[in-house]
């Protein structure tokens, strides 16, 4: 086992970035060497104070100057938890590559960036190879529940005919921002106006998940359509940060149908709402794959999106360090797994 710890930095100290810091500080073999964020109220503060935990390694204070941090601390890997879209993450990833850092990005589009940004993807791949580092986008969805897990299940199939993948989750654990982005509490009219103005985020990831599935099966997506509609509640629903009264919107229902060039269709359904139980809705992740043999998988309740994303980003760190240089996706790397014990045991010795 190698002697020096994995020097990790975190860029973006919101719910995801701070959750990753907390997870890493609970594991052995890591050293957090820097954390960057632009939010004034936390710049200059100790991450241990912000996380309300006892320091168990060198002090780290939030910096707003990424370049100085990279130059001084030379992290081996940076967890980038700042964006949803590849175009906005790209300049940051470029900077990190130029500083010879491996990168794991939470940006949803980065889970399969070839889907929406093939040119930027080729550029990231070229640069990563030039500088000898690996770049990966991942998360619970896209990244696992509606794509990688389905791909894994096709491994025991001799023929695949059709995918039906759904994720029914609760928005109740989430905060104010998510409530607004998902339209919780709006009237139907307000929701529809905001939807027209593209102010309802919904789920970003169907395109990435379907393209990842197609690529893993040696094909491409030839047609793709997605739709968004309000989930209207028939009872008053209240969550810690959201409220929707009877007749108003308690979440967003999203669907997509994509078809591969080999004619295999992928159907996805992802309704997200506060307090689904009040409407008798059971949360779950479900993957049905028609073919030989037919697969019918259910995970109940659904995998928590917050913890799941934090965990998979951290758990992929050794895989990313072990990988050959370049831009990778989850289908290029070994099966993800939880880091238990010292993370350095997961590193290849070569």
Q: Which residues contact 55 (CB under 8 A, 6 or more apart)?
A: 46, 48
| Cα–Cα dist 16/57, whole Å | 21
Q: What is the closest distance, in whole angstroms, from the C-beta atom of residue 320 to a second copy in the complex?
A: 13
Footprint of a second copy (CB under 8 A): 23, 26, 140, 144-145, 148-149, 151-160, 216-219, 262, 264, 291-293, 295-301, 303-304, 307-308, 310-312, 314-316, 330-343, 345-346
Distance CA 318, CA 304 (A): 23
Q: What is d(CA 116, CA 305) in angstroms, rounded to the nearest whole number? A: 23
Distance (Å, rounded) from C-alpha 93 to C-alpha 330? Answer: 18
Shortest distance in whole angstroms from residue 55 CB to a second copy = 20
Shortest distance, CB of residue 102 to a second copy, whole angstroms?
18
Min dist. Cβ of residue 204 to a second copy (A): 18
- Judged by beta carbon, residue 70 or residue 321, the one nearer a second copy is 321
User: Is beta strand 249-260 parallel, antiparallel or unpaired with respect to 326-328?
Assistant: unpaired
183/326 with CB nearer a second copy: 326
The nearer residue to a second copy, 227 or 292, going by C-beta atoms, is: 292
Residue closer to a second copy (CB basis): 91 or 155:
155
For residues 332 and 338, give the distance between their C-alpha atoms in angstroms, rounded to a whole number: 18
Residue closer to a second copy (CB basis): 227 or 345 = 345
Residue with smaller CB distance to a second copy, 66 or 311? 311
Closer Cβ to a second copy, 240 or 334, answer by number: 334
- Residue 315 dihedral angles phi and psi, to the nearest 5°: -65, -25
Q: Are 37 and 69 in contact (CB under 8 A)?
A: no
Evaluate whether 240 touches 233 at the Cβ level (below 8 Å).
Answer: no
Compute the least distance from the CB of residue 139 to a second copy, in Å.
Answer: 9
Q: How far is the CB of 142 from a second copy (least distance, A)?
A: 13
**Which of 188, 325, 177 has its CA nearest to residue 248?**
188
Whether the link from the prior residue into 343 is cis, omega within 30° of 0, is no
Between the CA of residue 184 and those of 108, 179, 189, 190, 303, what are the distances in Å?
21, 5, 13, 11, 21
| Closest separation in Å from C-beta 345 to a second copy | 4
């Amino acid at each position: 086992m190698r002697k020096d710890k994995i020097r990790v930095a975190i860029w973006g100290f919101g719910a995801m970035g701070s959750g990753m810091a907390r997870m890493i500080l609970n594991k052995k073999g890591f050293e957090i060497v820097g954390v960057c964020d632009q939010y004034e109220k936390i710049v200059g503060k100790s991450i241990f104070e912000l996380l309300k935990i006892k320091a168990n390694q060198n002090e780290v204070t939030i910096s707003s100057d990424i370049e100085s941090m990279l130059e001084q601390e030379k992290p081996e890997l940076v967890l980038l938890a700042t964006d949803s879209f590849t175009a906005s993450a790209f300049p940051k990833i470029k900077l990190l590559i130029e500083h010879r850092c491996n990168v794991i990005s939470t940006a949803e589009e980065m889970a399969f960036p070839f889907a929406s940004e093939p040119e930027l993807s080729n550029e990231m791949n070229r640069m990563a190879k030039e500088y000898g580092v690996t770049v990966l986008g991942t998360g619970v969805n896209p990244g696992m529940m509606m794509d990688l897990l389905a791909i894994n299940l096709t491994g025991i199939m001799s023929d695949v005919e059709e995918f039906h993948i759904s994720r029914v989750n609760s928005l109740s654990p989430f905060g104010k921002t998510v409530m607004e982005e998902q339209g919780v509490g709006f009237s139907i009219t307000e929701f529809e106006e905001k939807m027209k103005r593209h102010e309802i985020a919904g789920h970003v990831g169907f395109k990435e998940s379907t393209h990842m599935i197609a690529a893993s099966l040696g094909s491409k997506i030839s047609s793709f359509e997605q739709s968004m509609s309000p989930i209207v509640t028939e009872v008053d629903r209240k969550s810690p940060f959201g409220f929707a009264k009877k007749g108003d919107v308690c979440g967003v229902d999203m669907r997509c149908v994509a078809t591969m060039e080999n004619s295999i269709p992928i159907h996805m359904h992802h309704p997200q709402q506060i307090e689904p139980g009040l409407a008798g809705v059971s949360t779950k992740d479900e993957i049905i794959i028609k073919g030989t043999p037919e697969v019918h998988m259910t995970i109940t309740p659904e995998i928590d999106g917050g913890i799941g994303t934090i965990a998979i980003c951290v758990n992929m760190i050794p895989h990313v360090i072990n990988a050959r240089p370049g831009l990778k996706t989850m289908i290029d790397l070994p099966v993800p797994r939880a880091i238990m014990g010292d993370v350095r045991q997961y590193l290849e010795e070569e």
